[in-house]
Amino acid sequence: MFLIMFVIGLITAVVGSVAGLGGGVILVPVLLFLGDHFASFDWVNPQAIVGISLVVMIFTGMSSAISYMKHNRVDRGIGLIFLYGSIPGGILGSWLNQFFETDGFSLFFGIVMIAVSLLFFIPRRPPGDSLFKTGKLREKAVDGKVYKYRMPFWVGFILSFCVGMLSGLLGIGGGSLMVPAMILLLNIPPHIATATSMFMIFFASITSSATHVLLGHVDWSHTLWFIPGAYVGGTLGAWVNRRLDGQVVERFLRGLLILIGIRLIWQGLG
C-alpha cells in the first residue's frame, strides 16, 4: 500500500509541478477512481480526498517552489498579490466542501476541468500585448530573455479569491485555473506562470488544509503515505519544466484535463 501511495504522490507531483497545477487536479480523480474500484481504498470520500490533496500539495509546492526560486522563475510580487485573495477564498471553499455529496462533487469537478481545458484553445496575444494597460509594468528575465507584462491589483485579488475558493472546495490547488488565467489574460510567459503558481499554491494550501484539519476532513493514517513521493515529485517536476517547451506542456495538459473532466462528469451523472 505504501508503494502505491508513494508512486501516486510522485506522479501527481511531477505532473502538477511541470504545469503549475499543484498535483490535486490529478490526485483527486485518481483517488475517486480507486475508491470506486478497489476495496483497499474504501475509505475514500470527497471530504477525505480534498483534505489529503491539500496537505500533500503543501509538500509538492514547497519542493517545487524552492527549485523554481533557485532559478529565478518566480514573480514574488504577483505571487503575494494572489495570496491576498486566495487565502480567504480557500477558507470559504474549504467550509463549502462539507455540503457536497459524491455525485455532485464529481459532476462539478468535471465541469470545471472541461472549462479549464477550453481556455487553452483561446489564441494567445503576442508578447507585450497585455489585456490590461494599467498596473505596474513588470519585467522578468528567463534564460537571457526579458519578458514584460502588467496586472492591476484588483484583478489579481478578485481572480485569486475565486481560484482560492475553488481550490478549497475541490482540492485542486488552484493552479489548473490560475495558470491559464496568467498566461491568457495577463500575458505572463508559461514558465514564469507555472513557477509563480507553485509559489502561491504552497502558502495557499497551508491555509486551506488547516481549515480541513479543523473540520476533521484529513485522514492522517493515509495522508502521510503520499507525502514522500509528493516532495520528490515536486523537485523532479520543476527540473523537467526547465527543459520542456511551454507549448508541449500545454498540449499535454489540455488533453489530460478533457479526459479527466469527461470521466468525472460521467461518474457524477451515473
* 147: β partners: 140
Distance CA 94, CA 15 (A): 24
| 102-119 and 153-170 helices, crossing angle to 10° | 140
Helix, strand, coil in percent for the chain, rounding step 5:
75, 5, 20
> What backbone phi and psi angles, to 5 degrees, belong to 38?
-130, 130
Which among 81, 191, 174 is positioned nearest to 136, based on CA atoms?
81
Per-residue pLDDT tens, the chain, 270 aa: give them: 778 889 999 999 998 888 887 777 778 878 888 888 887 888 887 777 878 888 898 999 999 999 999 988 899 989 999 889 988 887 888 788 777 665 677 788 788 778 878 877 777 666 556 677 777 778 777 777 777 888 889 988 998 898 888 777 765 657 777 888 888 778 788 888 889 989 988 887 887 788 778 878 788 888 899 999 999 999 999 999 888 876 776 777 788 778 878 877 887 786
The answer, as to whether pTM is greater than 0.75, is yes
Distance CA 130, CA 127 (A): 8
- Residue 98 vs residues 42, 145, 190: alpha-carbon distances, Å: 19, 46, 34
